[in-house]
């Protein structure tokens, strides 16, 4: 049994972690990143298959990916704003059309909408972005594809052969990675949006054919921007339980 002090430290660690949306450009020392990845590598998985692979982008590769993803985001946004003609052009050229392995733009189930809306409203209110300020909303969304300024982006791929269970295992791995990063003084943001376009990532890395891009993680040192203190809150633990 772990000592009480360890349990308390763990509770403080998990409760103080935040999704960081503004990073310093300071590079992560290679040894520090390797230590975090070594911790994440201890995560459990189905029959110890570890059905996930990582594409880690820093330096020039990171910059090329940010540029390529932002260009696609801008192209897709212009097409949406261009009405029917813009959408037809997007379909004809296919440039900017999402080419990820999973659809990231879909309608949320109605019972999940209230928390989604409350989180978005709280974040934009903190940033001073009005509901009708479409330009500011565009710029904030675009920051996803700039990795919020982080010096390193990690793209997570899952093995299609293990179906949804590889995604479950990847989730455990990602959480272990983010908690280790937090313990080592680093900040992270897990981003489903980074699975929207897979082409730029596959152009930079040799991805095995059976692996599908499920998400990305921006990682680095948090800035002192107020956005990094944003906490949308959680359900009370009891609210998650089903009754017989």
Q: What's the pLDDT at 242? A: 87
Q: Are 59 and 66 in contact (CB under 8 A)?
A: no
Q: What's the pLDDT at 120? A: 92
Q: What's the pLDDT at 95? A: 80
Q: Are 109 and 102 in contact (CB under 8 A)?
A: no
* Alpha carbons 244 and 241: distance in angstroms, whole number: 10
Q: Are 144 and 187 in contact (CB under 8 A)?
A: no
Enumerate residue ranges in the chain where pLDDT < 70.
Answer: 1-4
CB neighbour class for 86 (10 Å; exposed up to 12, middle 13-18, buried from 19)? middle
Q: What is the DSSP letter of 41?
A: T
In this structure, the chain runs to a length of: 244
**pTM recorded for the entire structure:** 0.93
Per DSSP, the residues of 177-203 read: HHHHHHHTT-EEEEEGGGGS--HHHHH
Q: What is the CATH number of domain 16-67+98-104+145-230?
A: 3.40.109.10
Q: What's the pLDDT at 1? A: 57
Taking only the tens place, the pLDDT of each residue in 186-226 is 999 999 999 999 999 999 999 999 999 999 999 999 999 99
Q: Are 7 and 135 in contact (CB under 8 A)?
A: no
Residues 6+ positions from 165 with CB-CB distance below 8 Å: 46, 51
Q: What's the pLDDT at 235? A: 84
Q: What is the DSSP letter of 54?
A: E
50 vs 25, 35, 169, 179, CA distance in Å? 31, 18, 7, 18
């Amino acid at each position: 049994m772990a000592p009480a002090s360890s349990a308390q430290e763990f509770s403080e660690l998990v409760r103080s972690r935040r999704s960081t949306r503004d990073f310093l450009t300071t590079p992560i020392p290679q040894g520090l990143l390797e230590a975090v990845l070594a911790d994440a590598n201890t995560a459990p998985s189905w029959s110890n298959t570890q059905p996930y692979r990582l594409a880690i982008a820093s330096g020039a590769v990171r910059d090329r990916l940010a540029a390529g993803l932002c260009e696609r985001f801008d192209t897709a946004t212009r097409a949406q704003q261009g009405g029917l003609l813009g959408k037809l052009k997007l379909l004809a050229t296919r440039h900017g059309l999402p080419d990820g392995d999973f659809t990231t733009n879909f309608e949320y189930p109605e019972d999940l909408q209230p928390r989604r809306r409350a989180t978005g409203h709280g974040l934009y209110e903190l940033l001073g972005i009005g509901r009708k300020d479409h330009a500011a909303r565009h710029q904030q969304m675009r920051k996803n594809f700039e990795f919020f300024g982080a010096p390193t982006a990690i793209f997570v791929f899952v093995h299609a052969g293990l179906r949804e269970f590889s995604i479950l295992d990847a989730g455990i791995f990602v959480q272990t990675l983010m908690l280790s990063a937090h313990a080592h003084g680093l900040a992270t943001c897990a981003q489903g949006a980074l699975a929207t376009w897979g082409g730029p990532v596959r152009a930079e890395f040799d991805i095995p054919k059976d692996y599908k891009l499920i998400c990305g993680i921006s990682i680095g040192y948090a800035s002192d921007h107020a956005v990094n203190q944003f906490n949308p809150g959680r359900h009370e633990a009891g609210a998650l339980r089903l009754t017989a």
